[in-house]
């Protein structure tokens, strides 16, 4: 099984500021956390991060017929991007939306998620563990 893990804008800055919301660990720590888990589960993962909406769309499109699942934290684009929603719909790959923070307890503008309607599940507020739960859901879904 091959899973693509996509992280959106500013997640490369994890651990640098706002540790109260996003924790103290860095993006490199997150990558290691996910790759270690994938190895343990015997699945293949590709990690991708970009600050650019078009690059995220390109990566989703490139996954067409190549990946069995997508885990995506679109970060701020969650709340704005019809393009990323359409990309996920266009490839038809089972996708899980992840947020490190509990977005539902935060500002009003974070209550909208465009991508949610194209996802089989949304996980919020579990920190980095949310990515592992998303992988579990995709493995279960692929059985
Ligand atoms: O909780 C999440 O995972 C979010 O997707 C993170 C996004 C935010 O816009 C979403 O509403 C919820 C922000 C990622 C920015 O990460 C930072 C990392 C270090 C310092 C500041 C922000």
Domain ranges of the chain: 2-142
Q: How confident is the model at residue 137 (pLDDT cuts 50, 70, 90)?
A: very high
Q: What is the reported pTM?
A: 0.98
The answer to whether residue 22 is catalytic is yes
What are the tens digits of pLDDT across the range 77-119?
A: 999 999 999 999 999 999 999 999 999 999 999 999 999 999 9
Centre of ligand 1 to C-alpha 143, Å, is 32
Tell the residue number behind the tokens 């293949």, with chain if given: 44
Centre of ligand 1 to C-alpha 9, Å, is 8
The topology under which CATH files domain 2-142 is: Rossmann fold (3.40.50)
């Amino acid at each position: 099984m091959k899973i693509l893990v996509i992280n959106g804008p500013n997640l490369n800055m994890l651990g640098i500021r706002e540790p109260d919301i996003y924790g103290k660990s860095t993006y490199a720590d997150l990558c290691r956390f996910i790759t270690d888990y994938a190895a343990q589960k015997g699945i293949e993962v590709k990690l991708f991060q970009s600050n650019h909406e078009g690059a995220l769309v390109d990566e989703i499109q490139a996954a067409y017929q190549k990946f069995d699942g997508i885990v995506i934290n679109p970060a701020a684009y969650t709340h704005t991007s019809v393009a990323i929603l359409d990309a996920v719909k266009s490839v038809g790959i089972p996708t899980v939306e992840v947020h490190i923070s509990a977005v539902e307890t935060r500002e009003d503008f974070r209550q909208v998620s465009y991508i949610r309607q194209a996802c089989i599940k949304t996980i919020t507020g579990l920190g980095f563990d949310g990515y592992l739960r998303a992988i579990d859901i995709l493995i279960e879904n692929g059985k």
